[in-house]
Amino acid sequence: MIVVKDLVKEFGVHKAVDRISFEIQKGEILGFLGPNGAGKSTTMKMLTCFLAPTSGFISVDGIATDLDPQTVKTRIGYLPETSASYTDMNVTEFLKFIGEVRGFSGLQLAERVEAVIQKCFLESVRFQTIDTLSKGYRQRVGFAQAILHDPPVLILDEPTDGLDPNQKHEVRNLIRNMGKEKCIILSTHILEEVEELCTRVIIISKGRIVADGKPDEIRARSSEYYNIDLSIHQVESNLAATKLKSITGVKAVEVLPSTHSGLVNFRIVPEKHENLLGQVSELARKENWVLENLSLLPGKLDDVFRSLTMEGRA
Amino acid sequence: MKNFVPVFKRELGAYFNSPVAYVFLFIFLIATGGCSFWLGGFYERMQADLSSFFMWHPWLYLFLIPAVGMRLWAEERKSGTIELLFTLPVTLPEAVLAKFAAAWCFIGIALLMTFPIVLTVGYLGNPDYGVIICSYLGSFLMAGAYLAIASLTSAMTKNQVISFVLSVMICFVLVLTGLGVFTQALSNWFSVGVADFLSMFSFSTHFQSLQRGVVDSRDVVYFVSMIVTLLLANMMVLEQKKHQ
C-alpha cells in the first residue's frame, strides 16, 4: 500500500530524514516511534505530499507521489500534528468544507458529515465554533476530517495527544476498528499506545530507522526480556540466590529491595533469551519455598526505545 | 479548478466569521466618506462628480488592502492549516486563485457599499455615470493589484505584521512613482526618460486615466498583468516552500 525507498529530506545542511525505506500493507497499523525531532513528522509530511523529498521515492496505493500528488492525496486521510483546522468555522461547516473539497455534494455530503460526527462523538458540539472547543474535541474534529472520505490510507500525527484517558481509549478503539481494512501509520511517543494498537513498529532516531518489526520482536531486544521476577516468603536471601544461580542458563541473580518484611525479591537474568520459568519453579518446589510471585518479564519497549535513541547522545 | 468554489466560499466566509470584515467595512466607509467630504472638498468644488471620492483611493488602499491581504497565507502558515489545505486534493493554482478572489470579492463588497455617495451626487446634480462606473472599475482593478502584492508578501512569511509592512512599502513606492511631485524630482535627478519609465509602472498613473472615464486598454492590461504576474510569483513562493 505504501512504499518508501531511500527517502531523504534536507533542510539546509540539516538532514532531517536520512535514507529511510519501508513498506506497509493493508491491515497493518504501523507505529512510528522516535524522540522529538527524529524526523517522524517530516516523513509524514512527505508521505502526504506536503513537503517534497530531497531525494528518494514514495508511492501510495501504487501511485508515485511526485508524479500524481493530487490522486495520492485522495487516497490519504491525514491528521496533522497540530490537528489544525479553520477555527473560525463551526464543526459542521468545517466538515462540510472538507467534504466538498473531497468531491462530495448534496445528500452524499450530508450523509458523510453526519457519519463522522457520530463516529467521532461530536454531536454535542456540532454547531460550536472550533475556536471554542477544548483540545480533545479539536483533536476529534481533526480525526473526523481525516476519515470523512473513508480513505484506504490513514496518516495520523500523534492522534491521542492532549486527550484524557477516556478519549484516548475511544480514539484507540476507532483506530483499531479501522485498522482491519485500512493501512494506518501513526506517530506517537506514548509507548503503551504502540503496544496496545500497533501491529508493527518502526523506531526512528536522527532521521534513520533503528528498529523495524512487530512489537513483540522489538520488545525481545530489551535487556529485561525473559528475566524472571521471584518473591519468596521467609528465606535467607544469600542462600536462595546461590541456589538460583546454580540453575544452568542463569547469568545473574539480583536481590531487589523489598517492600514487605519477610519477603525477598529476586530478579533472575538468563544467559541468553531463554525461558527458565520451568527450572525456577522446579527449584522452588524442591526447596519448599513459599512463593508470593513468580513471573516472566515480557521486556519493555521503553528500554529498547531508550537504548536505541540515546546512543551517542550522552 | 473544481475545488476553486469550496475554497473561495470558505475564504469569503472567514472574513465574515471574524470581526475583521465588520471593522474593515466600517473603517473603509468612514474613511472614504470622510476623505471625500472633508479633505476632498466634495461640496466646495460645486461639481457633480466623484473625483474627490476616488482621488483618495490609492492612499486608503495603501493601508487597508495590506490589512485585508496580510492574513491570506501568513495566518495559514502560523496556525498550521496550510498543512491541512495542501494535503487536501486542492492544487496550488486553485488555492492561490480562490483565496485571492475571495479577498478581492470582499473588497468589491466594501466598494459597492459606498453607493450612497453615488446617490448623493445624483441627487445634488447631474453627474456623468459613465465616468463613475469607469472609476469604480479602475478602483476595483487597482485594489486587485494592491491585494496581489499583499498576497505575495503574505506567502513569504508567517508573520502578519511583516507581511503588512512589506506590502505597504511596496505599494507606497508604486503609488509614489506616478505622482507629479515625485516624477519631477526623478526627472531632475536622472532624466525625463527614467522618470517616465518608472511612472509607467505606477498605480497612480494608470488609475488617473481610468478615473477620467477613459477605458484605455493599456491601463486595464497593466492592472490585469500586474495581478497575474504577482499571483504567479505567489505560487512560485509557495512551491518553493514545499521544497525548502
A227-274 residue pLDDT tens? 888 888 888 888 888 888 888 888 888 888 877 778 888 898 888 878
**Does pLDDT of A56 surpass 50?**
yes
Which pLDDT value is given to residue A115? 94
Name the one residue in this structure whose C-alpha cell is 535467607. Answer: A236
> Sorting pLDDT into bands at 50, 70 and 90, what band is A224?
confident
Residue A200 has pLDDT above 50, yes or no: yes
pLDDT at A1 over 60: yes
- Mean pLDDT score of chain A, rounded to an integer? 88
Contact list, A78 vs chain B (CB under 8 Å) = 84, 87
What pLDDT is stored for residue A42 in this prediction? 92
Which residues in chain B come in under a pLDDT of 50? none
CA quadruple B145, B147, B151, B152: dihedral, nearest 10? 30
Reported confidence tier of residue A312, pLDDT bands at 50, 70, 90: low
Min Cα separation B14/chain A (Å): 7
pLDDT at A4 over 60: yes
Search chain B and give the residue with CA nearest A81.
B80
B132, containing H or E segment: helix B129-156
Confidence of residue A314 (pLDDT cuts 50, 70, 90): very low
The distance of B102 to chain A (nearest Cα, Å) reads 15
Are the beta carbons of A84 and B80 separated by less than 8 Å? yes
Q: Say if residue A313's pLDDT is above 70.
A: no
Q: Of B179, B215, B177, B180, nearest to B194 (Cα)?
A: B177
Q: How many Å lie between the alpha carbon of A174 and the closest alpha carbon of chain B?
A: 21
CA A68 to chain CA mean position, Å: 29
Evaluate whether A296 touches A21 at the Cβ level (below 8 Å): no
Nearest to A295 by CA among A241, A230, A232: A230
B146 in Cβ contact with B171 (< 8 Å):
yes
Helices (H), B178-216: 180-189, 192-200, 203-211
- Best of B79, B88, B90, B99 to mutate (most A CBs within 10 Å, chain A): B88
Residues on chain A touching B10 (C-beta within 8 angstroms): 86, 89, 97
Assembly ipTM? 0.88
Of the pLDDT bands very low, low, confident and very high (cuts 50, 70, 90), residue A52 is very high
CB pairs under 8 A between A and B: 71
Between B45 and A113, name the one with better pLDDT. Answer: A113
Q: What is the DSSP string of B29-59?
A: HHHHHHIIIIIS-TTTTT-SS-HHHHTTHHH
Q: Are B54 and B127 in contact (CB under 8 A)?
A: no
C-beta atoms of A88 and B14 within 8 A: yes
Q: How far is A30 from chain B (nearest CA, A)?
A: 20
**Cβ contact B89–A74 (<8 Å):** yes
Q: CA nearest A11 in B: which residue?
A: B244
Q: In this model, does residue A297 exceed pLDDT 90?
A: no
pTM: 0.87
